[in-house]
Amino acid sequence: MPKSWSGAAPPSPPLETLQMYPMTIWYTAYDWFQPLLTEEEDRLAAYLNGGGRLLFSGQDYIYKLPNHNPSSFAQNYLGVSAHIEDYSSTSFTGQPESPVGTALGPYPLDFPLGYDNWTDALTPTTSARIAGVGQEGQPNSLTNQGLGSGGQTWHTNFMAFGPEVMAPADRARLLQRAVGWLSWLGASTVTPSVNTTTDGTDITFTAILTNDGWIDLSNVVFTATFPAELTLGTASPEMSLVGGDLVWSGPLARNSSKTLTYTASLANSLPLGTTVDQVSWLAYPEHNLLFDRVARVQVNFPNLRGSSFSVTPATGVVAGDVLTYTLILKNEGPVDDPIVTATNTLPAVLEMVGIDSPSQGTIVTSGKSFTWTTALAQNQSATLTYRTLVSYTSSIIRNRVTINDDLNDPLVLTAQAYFKVQTLYLPIIRKK
């Protein structure tokens, strides 16, 4: 977005200029004052409706919208249903199965002196996908796609932070993925037949190469590479073995797809918590782009994602109430988890009243904090219940527990309690 320290600001690109480019990167950096004008939203919507692709990054974009809520452009194109103002992300961690975020990060976000961190937390619409999250699991990057009025496909990637605050190598890696998503092969996928398994398993990988761009592509090149943990098996007859890699190349017409399959076997006796990444590279000469898709398989991993954290009561809370929190750890993975640690420090508004003995494991308390440690066998659950006192009236009470087994990424669970809404009746004044 062009800016000027004196005199009139130069105009941002008109629609005619945007339409010259298949992909647009639009960033506002620190600019919290005027990140995106309504007329610019309308212009970008028209560009996307014609099959454009947009990477938009900037903080406080939603704050400057009417009523500080996502506009129709933010909802329909960027995929933002709601947001939490100024959550202040300090890192970016890519999310599994995201075309942008898979297997990336965590990347620190380093805000220099004078560049305040006003980044928001984002809630995606039903059509959008979370590309990355911040230090507490809050979404800070989304991808979205749809069909324009003329039937052409558009793609977007919204980052609620400026990638300029990342280290150069991290920024280059993230933008390589982001531009790959914006490209005409951006909807392409590589999917393993299993995401979590045990060692020695045979895995089938399915690659679907999709051209949803403006024209036919003359020569798409797909290269599947294999780490030491995988031994190549069979492959589609169109694929060739080149130096240990599987390669396919050929034309790909507009609005068409090419499906390729291949198999590989996992090695035996892999360690507990082994991550195996099958990396494939896509390229085409029209835009001189090269980007990757990662099919990630977790081998011999516990799975704690079914764990839950709840509070009672969750609504109608007033000062002096006692809130009861229940934390349930659950291992739905194919192997036992030797040690799981759950930690919690109460928010300022809460005081600890009492903690019940957990169903298993040991617990250590210190003031407003506790650490619960336990082993968790396959398909086993463990429960901890404790009570807190609401010491004063505040905003929403967000209590967070972090679950870590040093194998999976730390899992942050949040239980929210809402204060009672007070109804105020204004006096009726009769005018004589």
Same domain, 219 and 75: no
Same domain, 42 and 127: yes
Asked whether residue 286 is assigned to any structural domain, the reply reads yes
As a whole number, the mean pLDDT across the chain is 94
Note the pLDDT tens digit of each residue in 146-196: 999 889 999 999 999 999 999 999 999 999 999 999 999 999 999 999 999
pLDDT of 376 > 60? The answer is yes
Same domain, 43 and 146: yes
Domain extent for 342: 308-417
Same domain, 28 and 165: yes
How far is it, in rounded angstroms, from Cα 207 to Cα 259? 6
pLDDT of 236 > 90? The answer is yes
Least confident of 36-40, 49-53, 340-344, 416-420: 36-40
Same domain, 35 and 177: yes
Name the band, by pLDDT with cuts 50, 70 and 90, for residue 64.
Answer: confident
pLDDT of 391 > 90? The answer is yes
Looking at residue 9, its pLDDT comes to 60
How far is it, in rounded angstroms, from Cα 99 to Cα 143? 8
Same domain, 281 and 354: no
pLDDT of 10 > 90? The answer is no
pLDDT of 66 > 90? The answer is no
Asked whether residue 424 is assigned to any structural domain, the reply reads no
Which domain-ending residue is among 242, 275, 299? 299
Name the band, by pLDDT with cuts 50, 70 and 90, for residue 47.
Answer: very high
Q: What is the CATH number of the domain that holds 375?
A: 2.60.40.1530
Whether the link from the prior residue into 313 is cis, omega within 30° of 0, is yes
Which domain-ending residue is among 126, 161, 182? 182
Name the domain count of the chain. 3
Same domain, 106 and 37: yes
pLDDT of 84 > 70? The answer is yes
Only one residue has tokens 């009025």, namely 149
Q: What is the CATH number of the domain that holds 164?
A: 3.40.50.880
Amino acid at 269: S
Give whole-number Cα distances, 185 to 47, 159, 211, 216, in Å: 19, 21, 5, 11
pLDDT of 3 > 70? The answer is no
